Structure 1
Amino acid sequence: MAAIIFIVILIFIIAIQAFLPKFLRESEAFGIYIPDTHVKDQRIVHMKNRYTQLILTSGILIIVIFIGWLWMFRPAEEQIVFSGMVAQIGALIFSMGLYAKNHISLANWKKNEKWTEGQSERKVVDLQFREQLKILPSLFFIIPMLITLGLGVLGLSQYDTLPNQIPTHWGPSGEADAFAEKSWGSVSALPMITLLLQGMMLFFNGAMKQSGAKIQVRHKKRSRQQQLAFRKYSSWLLFVVTITETVLMGYLQLTIIYPEIMSASVTLGFTIGYLVIILGSVLYYTVKVGQSGTRIAVAEQDVNPENVIDMDDDQYWKFGLFYVNKDDPSILVEKRFGIGWTINMGHKGSWVFLVLLVGSIFLIATLL
C-alpha cells in the first residue's frame, strides 16, 4: 500500500509541475513579467513546451525506475517510504533547476531587448473590489478549531486512563510506528498540531481579503472577474483542507483516547480518503481556476489601449519566487510561478507570522 500511495503522489507532483506553465497568466513566465507585446513570442512558447516535455520525460523515467526497484527487490515498508521521498525530492529538484535556467534566459532577453521601453506603465486600483469579494467568513474556520480544542480537553480529562505509550506517528499501513512516553505534552501534541494547521488556514483566508488585486490595465473587466473568482475558490480550497485535516486528526486523537476503536484498516482508510480529497481538490482548483483565475471564462471583452502595459514589478520578485516589497500593505500575494499564494517577505506582519509558526512548531516538538 505504501508503494501505491507514493506512486500516486509522485504522478501528481510530476503532472502539476509539467503543466504548470499552462495554468499561469500569459503575462508571467518562469517568474518574469511579460508585457502584452511579447506574450506570443515564439521563443517563450517553445520554452514552455520544452519545459513540459522535459519534466514529463524525466518524471516518467523516475517512476519507471521506482517501480522497477520495487519489483526487483521487494523492499521493506521503511525502505519504500525513504525511497519514495527521495524520488519526490529528485523530481522537484530537477523541475526547479529547469525553472532556474529558463528564468535566467527570460530575464536576459527582456533586459537586452528592452521589452518595456517606450511604453507607459500603469497600475489599476479598484476601490470597490473588496466589497464584492465572496471569501468565506472566519467562522467557517473557527468552528473546526473549537472542535479540535474540545478533543484536546477530552484527551486531558482522560489522562489517567490512557496507556503509558502515546502514538505520535502512523505509517502507510495505518499502524502506529512511533510512540512517546505519556505526558501532558504528548497527549496534547496532536490537537496542538491540528490547531496550528487550522490557524494557518484562518490566517490565509483573512489575509486574502487584504491582498491587493492584480487587475490588468489592458484587460480590466476580464481580469477583475477572474481575480474575484480566484479568491472565492482559494477560500473554499482552504476550507476543504481545514475540514479534511480536522476529520483525520480528530480520528487519530480519538484512537489515542479510546484505543479500543483503533483499527489499522480504518486508519488507512481515513488517510487514503484524506489524500484523495486533498489531491483531488488541488487538481480541480488548478484546472478549473488556474493561477489568478486565468482559466475562468469571462464573456466581457475590453477595449485595449495601445502603448500601455502593467507595472513591471520584477524588482520585487527575487528569482521570481520570493516577493519582497515593504511598501506593499499586502501580507499575502499571488505566486508568480505556482498555484496559490505566498507571503510578502518585506511586510513586518509576514515575519511575525513566521516567528509564531516556527516557535509553535518548536514548542510542540519539545513537548514530545
Structure 2
Amino acid sequence: MAAIIFIVILFFNIAIQAFLPKFLKESEVFGVYIPDTHVKDQRIIKMKKRYTTVVSMVGLVVLTLFIGYVLISSPPEQQIVFWGLAAQIGTVVLSMGLYAKNHIALANWKKEEKWTSGQVERKVVDLQFREQLKLLPSMYFVLPMLLTVSLGIYGLSQYDSLPDQIPTHWGANGEADAFTEKSWLSVSSLPFMTLVLQGMLWFFNRAMKQSGAKIQVRHKKRSREQQLAFRKYSSWLLFIVTITITLLMGYLQLSIIFPETMSTSVTMTATIAFLVIILGSVLFYAIKVGQSGTRLAVSHFDERMDGVIDPDDDQHWKFGLFYVNKNDPSILVEKRFGIGWTINMGHKTSWIFLLLIVGSIVLVTTLQ
C-alpha cells in the first residue's frame, strides 16, 4: 500500500510541476514580471515548453524506475518510503534547477533589452473590491476547531483508561508503527497539532480579505472578475482541507481513546481518502482556476492601452519566490511561481505567525 501511495503522489507532483507554467499568468513567468509587450515573445514561449518537456520526460523516467523497483524487488516498506521520498525530492530539485536557470535568463533579457523602458507604470486601486469578496465566513473554520477542542478534552477525561503506550505515527498499511509513553502531553498532542493546522487555515482565509488585489491596468474588468473568483475558490479550497484534516485527525484521536475498536483497514482507507480528496481538490483548483484565476472564463474584456503597464515589483521578489515588502500591508500575496498564496516576509505579522507554527511543532516533538 505504501508503494501505491508514493506512486500516486509522485505522479501528481510530476504533473503539477511540469505543467505549472500553463496555470500561471502570462505576465509572470518563472518569477519575473513580463510586460504585455513581451508576453508573446517566442523565446519565452519556447522556454516554457522546454521546461514542461524536460520535467515531464525526466519525471516519467523516475516514476517508471520507481514502479519497476517495487514490482521486481518487492522491497520492505522502509525501503519503499526511503526511495519514494528520494524520488519526490529528486523531481523537485530538477524542477527548481530549471526554474533557477530560466529565472536568471529572463531577468537578464529583461534588464539588457529594457523591456519596461518608455512605459508608464500605473497601479489600479479598487476601493469596492473587498466589499464584493465572497469568502467563507470564519465560522466555517471555527466550528471544526471547536470539534477538535472537544475531542482533546474528551481524550484527557479518559486519561486513566488509556493504554500506557500512545501511538504517534501510522504506517501506510494503517498500523501504528511509533509510540510514546502516556502523558498529558502525548494524549493531547494530536488535537493540539490539529488545532494549529486549523488555525493556520483560518488565518489564511482571513488574510486573503486584507490582501491587495492585483488588478491589471490594461485589463481592469477582466482581471477584477478573475481576482474575485480566484479568492472565492481559494477560500473553498481552504475549507475542504480544513474539513478533511479534521476528519482524519479526529478519527486517529478516537482510535487512541478506543484502541480496541481500531481497524487497520479503516485507518488505511481513511488515509487514502484523505490523499484523494486533497490531491483531487488541488488538481481541480489548478486546472479550473489557475493562478490568480487566469483560467476562469469571464464576461468582461477590455480595450488595450498603449504605453501603460502594471507596476514592476521585481525588486520585492527575491529570486521570484519570496516576497519582501515592508510597505505592503498585505500579509498574504499571490505566488509568482506556483498555485495559491505565500506570505509577505517583510510584514512583522508574518514572522510572528511563522514563529508560532514552528514553535508549536518543536514544543510537541521535544516534550513527547
Fold agreement, TM-score > 0.5:
yes
Contact 1:189 1:367 in 2 (8 A): no
Query: Distance in 2 between the 1:196 and 1:205 partners?
Result: 14
List structure 1 segments (4+ residues) > 2 angstroms apart after TM superposition: none
Query: Distance in 2 between the 1:82 and 1:249 partners?
Result: 24
Shift of 1:103: 0.2
Shift of 1:366: 2.5
Shift of 1:252: 0.2
Aligned positions of 1:1-368 closer than 5 A: 1-368=1-368
Q: Deviations over 1:268-304 (max 9, x none)?
A: 0000000000000000000000000000111211122
Shift of 1:64: 1.2
Query: Distance in 2 between the 1:358 and 1:6 partners?
Result: 26
Letter of the 1:229 partner, please give it. A
Q: Deviations over 1:52-101 (max 9, x none)?
A: 00000110110111112112221101110111011001000000000000
Query: Distance in 2 between the 1:303 and 1:67 partners?
Result: 51
Letter of the 1:17 partner, please give it. Q
Query: Distance in 1 between the 2:193 and 2:359 partners?
Result: 12
Letter of the 1:23 partner, please give it. F
SS of the residue aligned with 2:47? helix
Query: Distance in 1 between the 2:347 and 2:358 partners?
Result: 17
Q: Deviations over 1:171-203 (max 9, x none)?
A: 000000000000000000100110010000000
Query: Distance in 2 between the 1:301 and 1:276 partners?
Result: 37
Contact 1:166 1:256 in 2 (8 A): yes
Query: Distance in 2 between the 1:154 and 1:194 partners?
Result: 15
Q: Which region of structure 1 is more displaced relative to structure 2, 130-139 or 300-309?
A: 300-309
Shift of 1:215: 0.1
Letter of the 2:240 partner, please give it. V
The answer for unaligned runs of 5 or more in structure 2 is none
Query: Distance in 1 between the 2:78 and 2:261 partners?
Result: 26
TM-score calculated relative to the size of structure 2? 0.99
Query: Distance in 1 between the 2:263 and 2:199 partners?
Result: 29
Letter of the 1:11 partner, please give it. F
Letter of the 2:65 partner, please give it. I
Shift of 1:329: 0.2
Letter of the 2:230 partner, please give it. F
Letter of the 2:73 partner, please give it. F
Query: Distance in 2 between the 1:27 and 1:177 partners?
Result: 48
SS of the residue aligned with 1:8? helix
Give the % identical residues: 73
SS of the residue aligned with 1:163? coil
Query: Distance in 1 between the 2:233 and 2:338 partners?
Result: 16
Query: Distance in 1 between the 2:321 and 2:157 partners?
Result: 46
Shift of 1:21: 0.2
Letter of the 1:324 partner, please give it. V
The answer for unaligned runs of 5 or more in structure 1 is none
- Two-structure CA RMSD over aligned residues (Å): 0.6
SS of the residue aligned with 2:342? strand
Aligned length: 368
Q: Which region of structure 1 is more displaced relative to structure 2, 245-254 or 65-74?
A: 65-74
SS of the residue aligned with 1:247? helix
Contact 1:35 1:116 in 2 (8 A): yes
SS of the residue aligned with 1:87? helix
SS of the residue aligned with 1:180? strand
